Amino acid sequence: MRYSYIAVEGLIGAGKTTLARRLANKMQGRLVLEEFDDNPFLPRFYEEPERYSFAVELSFLAQRYHQLKRVTEQDLFSACTIADYSLGKSLVFASVTLPPDEYALFLDLYGIMYSDLPRPELIVYLHLGMERVRERIRTRGRSYEQQIGVDYLMQLQERYLDHLQKSSGSRVLVVDLGEKDLLHDPLAYERLMELMQADVPEGFRFAEL
């Protein structure tokens, strides 16, 4: 595969981390995983979103920046790198959770911090229907995720797709998983590999497994 930096995206439970691990293993590449377990504001945000929305988004922004900054300083992007999130994830979530004035401030901080970081050459977005997303969340069993509302998830999905269509500097492959399970369906996984190995044009492409 000719890409040196690939980011896997999708909603909660879409299989981002699992796919990123498999790709890194297959391509003998470097793996960059989001450190969300270290965010103390996340459980509080799901309990009181209005109170903790700015704190959780700002803390994620800082965590992602520091992690990706370490990667670039260590020159890890000279080899194939696979991440289970993209830079734009912070913008997507903040656009849903923050009121306009706080989002404007957040946008300024994002622009200042991320302007010198490299963009993924390819973003693979794993698209799932809402029922499957809710099923995955239940299966994961994280207590603080069980109260996430469908409306919130739908807003995130819409903002993700809108953001990806407007992304510049990256090729975007949106893959509709339908009822397929990449972890347990070898044919679906191989089909995804074929889509990724094909010449993805610049801009936004939608495909089904």
Predicted confidence (pLDDT) per residue in 42-97, tens digit: 989 988 999 999 999 999 999 999 998 887 776 555 578 999 999 899 999 999 99
Running DSSP on this structure, what letter comes out for residue 77?
Answer: G
Catalytic residue among 75, 84, 151, 176: 84
Distance CA 84, CA 8 (A): 5
Nearest-angstrom CA–CA distance, 83 and 69? 13
CATH hierarchy code of domain 5-208: 3.40.50.300
pLDDT at 77: 53
Q: Does residue 75 carry a catalytic annotation? A: no
- 136: which 2 tokens? 């995955």
Q: pTM score, two decimals?
A: 0.92
| Residues contacting 38, CB < 8 A, separation 6+ | 63
At 27-43, the pLDDT tens digits run 888 899 998 777 889 98
Give the residue carrying structure tokens 């990667």. 71
pLDDT at 191 over 70: yes
Tell me the domain boundaries of the chain: 5-208
Res. 23: pLDDT tops 90: yes
